[in-house]
Amino acid sequence: MAEDIIKKTQFLKLDKFSLLGHSMGGKTAMTVALKHPELLDKLVVVDITPVEKWLDSQAVKGHSHRDFLTTYLGDGDRRVVWTGKPSLDIIIENIEELIGFPIALLDLKYNKPALFIKGENSTCVSDSLFPNTQKIFTNAKLTKIRNAGHFPHLSNTKDFMEVVLSFLSKP
């Protein structure tokens, strides 16, 4: 997906751009930033970090993460809707592969401004592990959106937009 973004920006003749991605889109945005930092002005990542194991095995087995995955993947019957309906249990068993971050990218650095946003009630980004993210994204800041979970842009759109626009408007 990261290479698709690069191809699209080349097609559009964009020399520089800022990129925002949520969750798995954030993973893609981080990949673009690390592989092609020369193309980005700024990076905004919402409710995901490159730190492996942001969901531990116990949390994934919990009800809230099943609901989280069903929101993205399911039709309410614990089946994935778009490809032959494999079991949600199979996805949960392979969650680290799905949400993990490519190890080869962890040796790279992104030194430009980066804003990581989390909903204050989200379990996807750990405050205590964020310094590990800053080892890779050296100019990263973490901001919390109040009264929000994994979807801060939906739960508290006003605050989310204020934070993003403020960050993007700074020189």
Q: What share of the chain in percent tops pLDDT 90?
A: 57
Span 83-102, pLDDT tens digits: 444 566 666 666 666 666 77
Considering the domain architecture, whether residues 60 and 36 belong to the same structural domain is answered as no
Average pLDDT over all residues of the chain:
81
Residue type, 34: L
The answer on pLDDT for 42 being more than 60 is: yes
pLDDT at 147: 96
pLDDT at 102: 76
Considering the domain architecture, whether residues 88 and 144 belong to the same structural domain is answered as no
Number of domains in the chain: 2
Segment 45-54 mean pLDDT: 77
Segment 98-114 mean pLDDT: 84
d(CA 100, CA 61): 17
Considering the domain architecture, whether residues 163 and 146 belong to the same structural domain is answered as yes
Considering the domain architecture, whether residues 20 and 76 belong to the same structural domain is answered as no
Segment 42-70 mean pLDDT: 63
The answer on pLDDT for 153 being more than 70 is: yes
pLDDT at 165: 98
Considering the domain architecture, whether residues 22 and 69 belong to the same structural domain is answered as no
The answer on pLDDT for 71 being more than 80 is: no
Residue 109 sits at the vertex; the CA angle it makes with 108 and 115, to the nearest 5 degrees, is: 130
pLDDT at 59: 46
Q: State both tokens at 74.
A: 């399911």
Q: Look up the pTM and report it.
A: 0.76
pLDDT at 98: 62
Higher pLDDT, residue 106 or 30: 30
Q: Where in the sequence is the domain holding 81, given as residue range(s)?
A: 53-99
Considering the domain architecture, whether residues 112 and 146 belong to the same structural domain is answered as yes
